[in-house]
Amino acid sequence: MTSADQDAASAQPAAPAARADRRVADELYRVAFANDRRAALAAILASLFVAWALDQQGAAQVAWPWCGACVVLAALRLMLIRQGGAARQAPADVTLRRRWLALLLLAAGTWGAGPPLFLSRNPALDTLLTGIWLAAAGLSAPLVAASRPAVYLSLLPALGPLLVALALQVSTDSLLLTVLAAIFLLVLMRLALDQNDSLALGLAARFHNEDLVEQLRAQVEVVARANREKTRFLASAAHDLRQPLHALGMFCASLDQRLHNTPERPLVRNMMDAIEALENSFGAMLDISRLDAGVVQKAPQTFAIRDLFRRLYQQFGGDAEVRDLSLRFRAARRMVMSDPQLLERVLANLVQNALRYTKRGGVLVAARRNPRGTALEVWDTGVGIPGDKIEMIFQEFYQIDNPERDRTRGLGMGLAIVQRLCALLEHPLEVHSAPGRGSVFRVIVPSGEAGTIEAPPLEADTLPPRTGAVLTVLLIDDERAIREATRELLRPMLVEVLVAATIAEAVQLAKESSAPIDLILSDWRLRGQENGVEAVRAVRAVCGESTPAVLITGDTSTDLLKLAHESGLVILHKPLQPRELMRLVERL
């Protein structure tokens, strides 16, 4: 047995199962119903032609009544098709199907009655009529093949009488025509039934694919819903877990101030170092989770790289000086197209990592022309990376030459975050290193055009200077512990802290305050649907639009940064280091 025969044999049990599907059965009848319109029209033309030909032979008395019957039955079929709602609609009504099959049987029987009436032992005429009947059957079989009952009800009544009439003539020519017509009928039946099987299997495959698409669509919706839930969870986790850390840092800083000249102060300093390490660990792991969850979205724009380099120098210049290392930046007036916030995080992690692993020499951060855009490179004269460990440095918590897990040398998360951010930004990341001589990390960023520079959605980094012996700060936060911790932290600095949990309370305090409000501190997420931006707007409506305001949040989304920038707010991210808040107040 050939492979084609095996495939055909294996398809046999599948075809009946396919036809058993209600949708497949309805579609098969829809196809057959649509095709029967053409079959009925063809029957009218064929019967008229046969009647005209027989009229030329002097058989008009029999031919035209037979032709009239054929035309009437074909017209009834067309009317039934129209009654069924047009050929495009499946006749799902069982009664309608039965009427159609009955009409098809009657029409085929009437057509098949022609040979017994018209065969006249005239070899030429008999051969012509046999050819007409066989041709008509060959043309109609594909049109009714979609319905298996229609194949039997149309072909057998149409050709069966022809075979009988030819066989009864008992002549050599008639016997030969009988054999040829019988073979033709068997082959035509087989082809029509195979076509029916193919149609059924094709329809079954189509409906199966549609079911799979529906299932896939449902699964995609489930995944999308789960992703939205995960996004909300991460946002809530970022807020809820950072809140106690934020309060703990404030309380510990207050305790450090009170125990300034006591033997217990070193213990407090150790506590503060542990809290800072915990905050760094939590922040790094949350960043990894947000990146892996796809929560972080990029917002590329064109900007000058020197602005980013300036912020990096402000951030790490002091650290390099303490380590007795040089830290140089070369921007060369380059313009780049990227997300400024995310790209700054990439370079900040690379610079921080370079400073940690460099004992002598220094770090160079440069922007250079590259065939693929602009290459942002971080060079160091540190310990270098062995070639077999370059891939490993991007794994979470992996650190070269730090088996004791010294937390002063970081957590081993920085480069893992860098790799994920570069993948998100679609910026190629390259590493070259020589053990004992240093390393270079290169990020390829698309170059930007100076004429397309947009205002970056970055938080302001300055506040208007204020003067006065006693400062009044309005703190809006729905966490009682944070309100108390902030008040205790700022009290030794001659700062009067007015605390409110809601926008209404904050507005009322601003109205009742005898001294002007020097600074507004507000958490982003307040009670209910309230947020910090709305709170600042409400308080500024009482105190004046020029009142300095700071938004404290654990959210790092681009939308929030843009909203804060448009509102003229400084953003500080939780967990907030107490010294950052103290430096901010000292500048007032």
User: Is residue 45 located within the same domain as residue 153?
Assistant: yes
333 located within any domain = yes
503 located within any domain = yes
| Secondary structure (H, E, C), 334-380 | CEEEECHHHHHHHHHHHHHHHHHCCCCCEEEEEEEEECCEEEEEEEE
384: left (phi over 0), alpha (psi -120 to 50) or beta: left
Dihedral sign, CA of 383, 386, 389, 394? positive
Q: Domains in the chain: how many in total?
A: 3
236 located within any domain = no
User: Is residue 403 located within the same domain as residue 500?
Assistant: no
At residue 410, the pLDDT reads: 52
72 located within any domain = yes
Dihedral sign, CA of 158, 161, 162, 163? positive
At residue 405, the pLDDT reads: 47
Residues 155, 139: contact at Cβ < 8 Å?
A: no
User: Is residue 412 located within the same domain as residue 512?
Assistant: no
**The overall pTM is greater than 0.75:** no
Residues in the chain: 588
Q: Pick from 452, 469, 499: which residue ends a domain?
A: 452
User: Is residue 354 located within the same domain as residue 485?
Assistant: no
pLDDT, tens digit (0-9, with 9 covering 90-100), for 70-79: 899 989 988 8
User: Is residue 98 located within the same domain as residue 205?
Assistant: yes
How far apart CA 583 and CA 588 sit, in angstroms, is 9
How close are the terminal C-alpha atoms of the chain, in Å? 94
Tell me the angle at which helices 123-144 and 172-258 cross, rounded to the nearest 10 degrees. Answer: 10
263 located within any domain = no
Residue 60 has which token pair?
A: 């008009």
In the chain, which residues have pLDDT < 50? 1-4, 6-12, 86-91, 404-407, 455-468
User: Is residue 572 located within the same domain as residue 428?
Assistant: no
- Cross-strand bridge partners of residue 475: 499, 521
H or E element: which one contains 227? Answer: helix 172-258
User: Is residue 362 located within the same domain as residue 482?
Assistant: no
User: Is residue 441 located within the same domain as residue 465?
Assistant: no
Residues 393, 382: contact at Cβ < 8 Å?
A: no
Residues 379, 402: contact at Cβ < 8 Å?
A: no
User: Is residue 465 located within the same domain as residue 426?
Assistant: no
At residue 13, the pLDDT reads: 52
At residue 458, the pLDDT reads: 42
Residue 199 has which token pair?
A: 């149609």
At residue 483, the pLDDT reads: 84
Tokens 């040089």 belong to which residue?
Answer: 326
At residue 380, the pLDDT reads: 92
How far apart CA 488 and CA 257 sit, in angstroms, is 10
285 located within any domain = no
Q: What CATH number corresponds to the domain at position 410?
A: 3.30.565.10
295 located within any domain = no
Helices (H), 57-147: 60-83, 94-112, 114-118, 123-144
Q: Pick from 216, 241, 264: which residue ends a domain?
A: 216
Q: What CATH number corresponds to the domain at position 510?
A: 3.40.50.2300
Tokens 């930046």 belong to which residue?
Answer: 329
Residues 58, 32: contact at Cβ < 8 Å?
A: no
User: Is residue 433 located within the same domain as residue 504?
Assistant: no
User: Is residue 495 located within the same domain as residue 447?
Assistant: no
Residues 28, 145: contact at Cβ < 8 Å?
A: no
How far apart CA 497 and CA 478 sit, in angstroms, is 15
131 located within any domain = yes
How far apart CA 488 and CA 248 sit, in angstroms, is 12
At residue 445, the pLDDT reads: 93
Taking only Cα atoms into account, the Rg of the chain, rounded to an integer number of angstroms, comes to 43
The domain in which residue 497 lies consists of: 457-586
| Amino acid occupying residue 247 | A
Residue 417 has which token pair?
A: 């975050």
How far apart CA 305 and CA 307 sit, in angstroms, is 5
Q: Read out DSSP for 250-308?
A: HHHHHHHHHTTTSTTHHHHHHHHHHHHHHHHHHHHHHHHHHHHTT------EEEEHHHH
Tell me the C-alpha to C-alpha distance, in Å, between residue 143 and each of 27, 85, 129, 131, 178. 14, 19, 22, 19, 25
User: Is residue 403 located within the same domain as residue 499?
Assistant: no
